[in-house]
Amino acid sequence: MFDLVLGTNNAKKLIELRLMLPAEHYSLHSLAEIPDSIDVEETGETFSENAVLKATEQAKHLGRWVLAEDSGLAVDALGGAPGVYSARYAGRHGDDEANNAKLLSELADVPMEKRTARYHCEVCLSDPDGNVRITTGGVCGGVIRTEPSGSGGFGYDPLFEIREYHKTFAELDLTVKRALSHRSRALRELLPKLRRLISQQ
């Protein structure tokens, strides 16, 4: 059993991470379960830099293996915004409703064919000394709708349509979303590397 701290306080991200990391092989802990965990400031200019910061700083502080991720939305018509500011696009961190409203406002005059976007996810595994041991990434392409639809998911999911399904991430069931999402793609790339690393410990 490999002891692993999941470096996030986002409950919905934790659900996705835990679904991808089978409990029979990993002893998983969220930051909310660890009283002395720290809040790592996301000062990186890329998703990858932020994932590394969150994994390595938390690992050094706790002296434990930490898996952290950073993810967000990049909209072509906005030059890649909101990007690393996705969670705080409208000002307050984690205000999904305000972030979605701002995104719709920014895209108000943009025609549907130019509302292409991608979800990005970068994942980093740090050892207890703060050394980066694995990094992976995943991308999922779609288009931003003109109004939200669906009650599932979080973040920009009610606006992010997967064209092949003609549904937003918030309308898709979790099984389908797991197969397609940027986070799942990053974790699928991570898992064989993680298994190899564990076998060498």
What distance in Å separates the CA atoms of residue 186 and residue 20, rounded to the nearest whole number? Answer: 10
Amino acid type, 169: F
Selecting among 36, 39, 70, 76, the annotated active-site residue is 70
Residue type at 26? Y
Q: Can you tell me the distance from the alpha carbon of 87 to that of 94, in angstroms, rounded to the nearest whole number?
A: 5
Q: 152 CB contacts (<8 Å, ≥6 apart)?
A: 169, 170, 171, 172, 173, 174, 177
8 A C-beta contact, residue 127 and residue 68: no
Q: What six digits make up the tokens of 164?
A: 């092949």
Note if 96 is an active site residue: no
Dist. CA 32–CA 36, nearest whole Å? 9
Element (H, E) at 176: helix 174-180
- Measuring CA to CA, which residue among 57, 2, 7, 20 is closest to residue 183? 20
| Cβ–Cβ under 8 Å, residues 58 and 38 | yes
End-to-end CA distance of the chain: 12
Active-site residue set: 70
